[in-house]
Chains A and B, each alone.
Chain A
Amino acid sequence: MNKHAKLAAFPYLLWMAVFIIVPLALIVVFAFTTTVTVDADGNILTAEEITEVQDAFYEEYGEDADIAELGLSEKTVFTLQNILDVSKYMNTLLNSIWLALIATVICLVLAYPVAYFISRLHFTKQKMMLMLAMLPMWMNFLLRTYAWMTILERNGLLNRLFALVGLGPFEMINTQGAVVLGMVYNYLPFMILPLYSVMTKIDSRTIEAAQDLGANRLTVIGRVVLPLSVPGISSGITMVFVPAVSTFIISRMLGGGTNMLIGDLIDLQFLGNAYNPNLGAAMSLVLMVFILLCMSITNSIDNEETEVSML
């Protein structure tokens, strides 16, 4: 590595340290600590005890007395309770994982043929098609999801169309299906892009060679294109699954708030009514550990396949 490259990378390394490493550490700290109220002697008080001593204090010194004189203070202590508390919401986490998985599979099934199709086009057409695939991303994420609300609603566009041919109305919004749809719609481009960028590097001559050697269409796809596109598949899965599993606004808008995802729960702990950053951090930590596992699984598939193809 030369010195200049090191120097040029420095701004990002600094950025990484300040805005990635430190927040990660903060999440861990928050997840394993809690704020307790201690009295002057350092004894931890429960909520009832606090009310008790405060009432006693006011009774003794009158309503106008300064409560600060009581000597209560807040202290941060280590606890496992937050992590244990997350267990209550395990069903929500599993539900999020399940929905994100479905969305990822659908994205893969939809994106794979499209990416292959685009990669086989003429160069100028490729750029055009790619731009069309990216087009929805130009719109704000919120507006995109909001638009789906109007389409799926009971008196929405789709149901009105169905009504014209005498069908429906169907319950489409506020279901898990709507949430999955929202995920697929929002994250599909993230699947197409990595797939395309890998497939466009597959030399057409490789495919022709396979055909010359007597491979039929299925064999070409199964033995040549698929193994060569595995890196794209694994990064596509990561890029769709990870944001989908932690998404929060989609389920609120399309799921009606009755199909909560883990992202909503975390949001609730920080900006919602249930203000509890410690529990929220614990939830994020659990989610991060799970994502870590997913990444290593997809990575291992990646490595294995490239090794196989090298052999």
Chain B
Amino acid sequence: MKKIFALLMLTVLLASLVPCVSAVESGWEIDYSDSVDWNKFRDQGVTLNVYNWGEYISVDDGEEGAFDVNAAFEELTGIDVVYSNFASNEELYAKLKMGGSQYDIIIPSDYMISRMINEGMLNKLNYDNIPNFAYTNPQFVNPDYDPTNEYSVPYLWGIVGIIYNTTLVDAEDDVHTWDILWNEKYANNILMFSNSRDTFGIALKRLGNSFNTTDEEAIRAAAQSLIEQKPIVQAYVMDEIFDKMIGGEAALAPYYAGDAITMMADNPDLAFAVPAGGTNVFVDAMCIPKTAKNQEAAELYINFMCETLVALKNAEYVGYATPHTEAFTYLDEETQTSVTYPDDEILAISEAYIALPDATTALLDGLWTDILSTGESSPWVTPVFIVVCLALTFAINAFKRQKKKKTNF
């Protein structure tokens, strides 16, 4: 999802080698639905600002069958797309909250969508402009994070599981449980998420709680278990996991199924297991923030993303599961039956994140910072520290002035 560095390299490469990547060169037979007027905004100088995860849309990477979604959209509609990336839901949230940036389309995850809905940061969508929403798998319509489905159109989804290196993990050990991430046998061989929601989710689930619990005691117990786990954790990572797992640096790590497939393709020793105790199913969906300038054009973009061909290309490129029913049928059988598309049994015990009350979020954030930083001390340490620093600064300067006076005499 967030291969910043791969992306960085790619951008540098592309920028230097291919001065102008033209739209749809690969000879795709384009057959878009005619349910909407694609040309409505042509020649009006309309620009759409799209804000998405890194490596989360099909681009022309020079491989056979490559398809550049944004270029195709520009060609079809005459609307300019300004595309930029974020690395975490929280970064997206901070950007929007701080103001000053204007996006027309954003693609956050479930719990962030419900938080944004609660805080009135999203516009309601006009589904008349998004007829392709009809293709959405009913399973993903009216989700918990958007119960009336007024604000979001699902883009891609997936589950979290444990990716592990078969050469480093004992065959006797049960990998289908979160407990293995606390197994001291794998000290310094375990990677964990470097975001609080996923990490706490795992700790909570392991102790038999819901991902969305607001029970303070349960959360504190989870934090305690994470502090206990910290000595055997090699690193808290997000993107770095690709290099580390592919290079055999670590034995076990929780991560997203779609990315696990990518890693397994590069290192055949890797395997993926879904914990029997239940896991997280996440959905990233397209939304229009309150700051959007051109709502209708943004809806046109969302509708375009739900075109069967586009959804298929995105799903193939990103490797995550698509909620688009038509696109799914065009995937090859191997993909359809892979861990990317877990069976109903797994889905039944999976749970999605929803937005937590402010008090719980604050508690989680505080505990997360505590877990990562070490130790505690009296609250008055800081004020005393500041005063001492300032006093010393003044003293030094005063002393210098005094001395200067003396030497002048």
Contacts and interface: CB of A to CB of B under 8 A. Distances in A.
Contact of A286 (B236, B244, B385): B385
B407 A307 contact: yes
Contacts of B196: 273-274
Nearest to B374: A91
Contacts of B397: 296, 300
B357 A273 contact: no
Given A47-B358, A256-B234, A258-B235, A87 B249 contact: no
Given A47-B359, A47-B362, A275-B93, A286 B237 contact: no
B5 interface: yes
A292 B235 contact: no
Interface in B85-99: 88, 90-91, 93-94, 97-98
A273 B195 contact: yes
B244 to A, nearest CB: 8
Interface string B236-264: 11001001100111000000000000000
Interface stretch (B127-135, B204-212, B321-329, B365-373): B365-373
Nearest to B248: A155
Contact of B90 (A271, A293, A303): A271
Contacts of A289: 385-386, 389-390
B382 interface: yes
Contact of A296 (B98, B233, B249, B393): B393
Contacts of A250: none
A265 B5 contact: no
Query: Which secondary structure characterizes the binding site on chain B?
Result: helix
Contacts of B399: 300
A86 B8 CA distance: 35
B396 interface: yes
A258 B236 contact: yes
B106 to A, nearest CB: 16
Interface residues of A, number: 56
A292 B397 CA distance: 11
Given A47-B357, A83-B386, A90 B236 contact: no
A154 B245 CA distance: 12
Contacts of A83: 382-383, 386
Chain B residues touching A, range: 35 or more
Nearest to A271: B91
A48 B359 CA distance: 7
B365 A300 contact: no
Interface string B379-409: 1111101100110110011011001000100
A276 B365 contact: yes
Contacts of A257: 194, 235-237, 372
Contacts of A47: 357-359, 362
A153 B249 contact: yes
A4 interface: no
Nearest to B237: A257
Nearest to A95: B374
A86 B359 CA distance: 19
A20 B297 CA distance: 39
A269 to B, nearest CB: 8
Contacts of A285: 386
Interface in A224-273: 252-253, 256-258, 260, 264-265, 268, 270-273
Contacts of B94: 270-271, 275
A303 B197 CA distance: 52
Nearest to B367: A274
Interface in A53-111: 80, 83-92, 95
Contacts of A117: none
Contacts of B400: 300, 303
A174 interface: yes
Contact of A142 (B8, B243, B357, B383): B8
B44 interface: no
A256 B368 contact: no
A199 interface: no
A293 B195 contact: no
B377 interface: yes
Nearest to B247: A155
B365 A275 contact: yes
A153 B243 CA distance: 10
A154 B358 contact: no
B366 A274 contact: yes
Contacts of A50: 358
Nearest to A50: B358
A21 interface: no
A211 interface: no
A146 B8 CA distance: 12
Interface in B176-216: 188, 194-197
B359 A87 contact: no
A272 B361 CA distance: 13
Contacts of B390: 289, 292-293
A176 to B, nearest CB: 12
B100 to A, nearest CB: 13
A128 interface: no
Given A87-B378, A89-B373, A270-B94, A258 B383 contact: no
Contacts of A143: 8
Nearest to A68: B120
A149 B240 contact: yes
Contact of B381 (A80, A87, A260, A275): A87
Contacts of B188: 171
Given A88-B373, A275-B90, 7 more contacts: A86-B382, A92-B373, A142-B8, A153-B244, A271-B88, A286-B382, A292-B389
Interface of B: 5, 8, 88, 90-91, 93-94, 97-98, 188, 194-197, 230, 233-237, 240, 243-244, 247-249, 357-359, 362, 364-366, 368-370, 372-383, 385-386, 389-390, 392-393, 396-397, 399-400, 403, 407
28 contacts: A47-B358, A47-B359, A50-B358, A80-B383, A84-B379, A85-B379, A86-B382, A87-B378, A87-B380, A87-B381, A146-B5, A149-B240, A153-B244, A154-B249, A155-B248, A171-B188, A252-B194, A265-B373, A270-B94, A273-B90, A273-B195, A273-B196, A274-B368, A274-B369, A286-B382, A289-B389, A296-B393, A296-B397
